[in-house]
């Protein structure tokens, strides 16, 4: 059963696209930035974001706890980072994408998601608790934390003597 739920949010960041990319593509720090995902680790010997690399995420929402396995689908430094959450049967569930656009002030970072497939039980559970609203709030918080980390990194690197 497919669902058409999608969402998108953007933020302006006073840092170069490469610096912003380095912050967001470090999945081992995702737990510092996401209100839902509190930990991630690379799988299969991966150590960096490259297309096809996999990682596991540990998530929480209230009393609920679960893990996800994700596959990186795009890893272009300074341009795009994307991954897909996979079901335990290898089916694509949710696609997450970050697009970086250079601006006069630094970078416009756009985060988006698309539900590609959702189990019937999860869709029924969404009736009293709309998942879409939770994800949109979470994106705003995640983007604000990426902005904070990226701008701090940019200030730090500009203060370092060459």
Phi-psi category of 89—alpha, beta or left, where left has phi over 0 and alpha has psi -120 to 50? alpha
Q: Where along the chain do its domains lie? A: 6-24+71-157
Q: Is the pLDDT of residue 124 over 70?
A: no
pLDDT over 90 (residue 161): no
Output the DSSP codes for the chain: -----EEEEEEEESS-HHHHHHHHT-GGGHHHH-SSEEEEEE-TT--S--TT-EEEEEEEETTEEEEEEEEEEEEETTTEEEEEEE-TTS-EEEEEEEEEEEETTEEEEEEEEEE----HHHHHHTTTS-HHHHHHHHHHHHHHHHHHHHHHHHHHHHHS--
Q: 6-24+71-157 in CATH: which number?
A: 3.30.530.20
Please identify which residue in the block is written with the tokens 């960096």: 48
Say how far residue 49 (Cα) sits from the centre of its chain: 12
Per residue in 132-152, pLDDT (tens digit) is: 777 788 899 999 999 999 999
Q: Indicate the pTM of the whole model.
A: 0.87
Average pLDDT over residues 65-74: 96
Query: What average pLDDT score do residues 61-75 get?
Result: 94
Please tell me the distance from the alpha carbon of residue 66 to that of residue 37, in angstroms, as a whole number. Answer: 9
């Amino acid at each position: 059963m497919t669902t058409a739920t999608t969402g998108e949010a953007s933020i302006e960041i006073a840092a170069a696209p490469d610096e912003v990319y380095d912050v967001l593509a470090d999945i081992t720090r995702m737990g510092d930035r996401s209100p839902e995902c509190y930990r991630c680790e690379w799988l299969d010997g991966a150590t960096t974001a490259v297309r096809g690399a996999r990682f596991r995420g540990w998530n929480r929402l209230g009393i609920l706890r679960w893990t996800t396995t994700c596959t990186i689908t795009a890893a272009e430094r300074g341009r795009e980072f994307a991954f897909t959450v996979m079901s335990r049967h290898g089916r694509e569930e949710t696609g997450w994408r970050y697009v970086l656009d250079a601006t006069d002030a630094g970078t416009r970072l756009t985060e988006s998601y698309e539900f590609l497939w959702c189990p019937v039980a999860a869709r029924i559970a969404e009736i009293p608790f709309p998942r879409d609203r939770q994800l949109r709030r979470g994106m705003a918080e995640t983007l604000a934390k990426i902005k904070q980390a990226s701008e701090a990194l940019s200030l730090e690197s500009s203060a370092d003597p060459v």
